[in-house]
């Protein structure tokens, strides 16, 4: 009988060892899966961090545009005429947008142009009316608008002024 009990105990022990060994293998497998998930999550975090840094760089590079989109501002407003443009007498005079200069058109400084004040958009110059952007000013000008006038005397008389200018959404 003692042998029988020993065999039963040995069988139970073997079953228990097998069961716990299987359980240990299952736990090792689960641990390996957790490690894989952990690695995948780390990679995902790095990817998100890289994207975040990239977006931060884009925002910082464009902060001036975001903070100051210049929809309406006090700008330097001047006037110009065709006589000022006659550097090449045999050539037809055209604006940067390839239009003939005419009354009702303006040139804008490149900083404004780069902030959405582009060809074809309209601006309201306080007490002077609505104008179409068709030309660009020289590189040295900033925060400026140049009104085209047919009359040289009028353009000279206009001079240089600080006027509120509004970019119209039309």
Residue numbers in the chain where pLDDT is lower than 50: 66-67, 70
Question: What distance in Å separates the CA atoms of residue 116 and residue 52, rounded to the nearest whole number?
Answer: 26
The answer to whether the beta carbons of residues 55 and 126 sit under 8 Å apart is no
pLDDT at 120: 92
The answer to whether the beta carbons of residues 36 and 28 sit under 8 Å apart is no
Q: Where are the alpha helices (DSSP H) in the chain?
A: 2-61, 63-67, 110-113, 152-158
Query: What kind and span of H or E run contains 151?
Result: none
Of 129, 112, 18, nearest in space to 72 by CA: 112
Question: What distance in Å separates the CA atoms of residue 148 and residue 151, rounded to the nearest whole number?
Answer: 9
pLDDT in tens, 26-74: 888 888 888 999 899 888 888 878 877 776 776 667 655 544 554 568 9
Structure tokens at 96: 């940067």
Report the predicted TM-score, pTM, of the whole model to 2 decimal places.
Answer: 0.55
């Amino acid at each position: 009988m003692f042998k029988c009990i020993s065999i039963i105990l040995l069988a139970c022990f073997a079953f228990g060892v097998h069961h716990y060994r299987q359980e240990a293998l299952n736990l090792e497998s689960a641990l390996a899966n957790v490690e894989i998930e952990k690695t995948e999550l780390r990679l995902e975090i790095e990817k998100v961090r890289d994207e975040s840094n990239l977006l931060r760089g884009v925002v910082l590079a464009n902060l001036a545009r975001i903070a100051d989109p210049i929809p309406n501002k006090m700008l330097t407003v001047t006037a110009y005429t065709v006589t000022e443009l006659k550097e090449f007498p045999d050539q037809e005079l055209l604006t940067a947008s390839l239009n003939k200069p005419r009354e009702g058109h303006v040139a804008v400084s490149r900083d404004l142009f780069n902030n959405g004040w582009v060809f074809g958009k309209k601006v309201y110059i306080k007490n002077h009316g609505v104008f179409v952007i068709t030309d660009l000013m020289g590189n040295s000008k900033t925060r400026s608008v140049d009104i085209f006038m047919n009359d040289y005397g009028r353009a000279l008389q206009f001079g240089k002024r600080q006027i509120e200018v509004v970019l119209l959404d039309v």
